[in-house]
């Protein structure tokens, strides 16, 4: 099922926890986000979750979240995550992940976001999206390349990018 990124997620949680940073995420207990939130919690880092009432009512919210906000609408939830994040790290994922990626890359490309985006392209998962962005740039459908957009194919490369770009 999907690409196994558990080792990379564990290393990322360890890295950020060691640096004293917490996690802002969608507030669920399933999939990659459920896994990494548990890893952050186990490392003693603060975990902030922004979930939907729909998911919360179904019991998809873990009990170890330090700060939880429950929104009624996807758009409100997404804006809460954007507002409360210092950087964005995108791993392989589904439609929700793609939706969030497109929103933040669009905001970055319009020079509105002002926060770095780190895309983990393990096993070329995001290559078609990266190629589409490059094609849209060449065809002038996008006015400028997202200025704060970094792509890595290994967790070591991503951590190096983060260390060189962020004030940790």
- Reported as a single tens digit per residue, the pLDDT across 19-29 is 999 999 999 99
What pLDDT was estimated at residue 167?
84
For the chain, the domains span 1-86, 87-156
Radius of gyration from C-alpha coordinates of the chain: 16
Provide the whole-model pTM. 0.94
Q: 2 to each of 124, 125, 129, how far by Cα in Å?
A: 13, 10, 17
- CA-CA distance, 128 to 115, in Å (whole number)? 23
Residue 124's CB is within 10 A of a number of other CB atoms, namely 11
Q: Which portions of the chain are predicted below pLDDT 50?
A: none
Structure tokens at 138: 């060449």
Give me the CATH topology for the region 1-86. Answer: Rossmann fold (3.40.50)
CATH topology of domain 87-156: Rossmann fold (3.40.50)
């Amino acid at each position: 099922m999907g690409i196994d990124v558990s080792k990379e997620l564990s290393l990322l949680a360890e890295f950020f926890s060691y640096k004293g940073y917490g996690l802002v995420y969608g507030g669920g207990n399933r999939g990659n986000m459920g896994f990494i939130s548990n890893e952050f919690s186990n490392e003693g880092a603060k975990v902030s979750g922004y979930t939907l009432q729909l998911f919360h009512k179904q019991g998809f919210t873990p009990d170890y979240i330090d700060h939880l906000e429950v929104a009624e609408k996807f758009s409100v939830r997404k804006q809460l995550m954007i507002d409360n994040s210092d950087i964005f790290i995108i791993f392989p994922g589904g439609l929700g992940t793609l939706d969030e990626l497109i929103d933040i890359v669009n905001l970055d490309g319009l020079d509105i976001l002002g926060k770095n985006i780190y895309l983990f392209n393990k096993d070329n998962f995001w290559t078609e999206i990266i190629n589409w962005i490059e094609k849209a740039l060449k065809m002038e459908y996008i006015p400028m390349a997202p200025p704060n957009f970094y792509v890595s194919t290994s967790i070591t490369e991503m951590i190096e990018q983060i260390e060189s770009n962020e004030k940790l």
